[in-house]
Structure 1
Amino acid sequence: MAWLVLILSGMLEAVWASALSASEGFRKWKPTVLFALSMTASMAGLAWAMTSLPTGTAYAVWVGVGATLTVAWAIVTKRERAGVARVLLLVLLVTSIVGLKAVS
């Protein structure tokens, strides 16, 4: 159960990172509210998952999931380009996350 909560919390990290960007320095209220809510839920999930998972592993997976999905969302919405190196590095990041799960 802790792994599921951790993955969902990592997904919420991507939501709050994207909402933070969309808030334009907290000038737009809807993305700002989304940022605050998703960040709170993401941190709470991470904190809960860390009660039964090793801290370093939990944090690395949380950041990895969030970073991967944030970049993927930026590519899908055409805010960033999807170069070969970028895609290969994202695959490496996901592989590393799976590897951390495998050895935990």
Structure 2
Amino acid sequence: MAWVILLVAGLFEVAWAIGLKYTDGFTRPWATAGTVLAMVVSFWLLGIAMKTLPVGTAYAIWVGVGAVGTVILGIVLLGEPANAARLISVALIVAGLVGLKLATPA
């Protein structure tokens, strides 16, 4: 169950990272409120997952899910470039995340 919680925490990290773009420098109140809420939920869930998962693994997975998701949504929602170097780099992050999951007994 800790892995599922960690994945959801990572998805909320994606939400707040993308949300930062939509806050327009924290000048848009609703976008700012949603972004702050996503931050709180993300950190809270990460803390719950860390009760049973190793801190290094949990943090790396959380950041990795956030990074991969943010890159993908940046491409889809914000028109960021999807060149080969970026996509290969994202694939390498995913490979690292899979490796950490396979190497963690919890």
TM over 0.5: yes
CA distances 1:59-98 after superposition (whole Å, capped 9, x unpaired): 0000000010001000012431001010011011011101
Percent identity, aligned pairs only?
Answer: 43
CA distance in 1, matches of 2:20, 2:47: 21
1:20 Cα deviation from its structure 2 partner: 1.1
TM-score by length of 2: 0.95
Question: What residue is the counterpart of 1:95 in the other structure?
Answer: 95
TM-score by length of 1: 0.97
Q: 1:1-104 maps to which residues of 2 (within 5 A)?
A: 1-104=1-104
Let me know the Cα RMSD of the aligned residues: 0.7
* Misfit runs of 4+, over 3 Å: none
CA distance in 2, matches of 1:37, 1:79: 25
What is the aligned length? 104
Unaligned 5+ residue runs, structure 1?
Answer: none
Unaligned 5+ residue runs, structure 2?
Answer: none
CA distance in 2, matches of 1:37, 1:77: 21
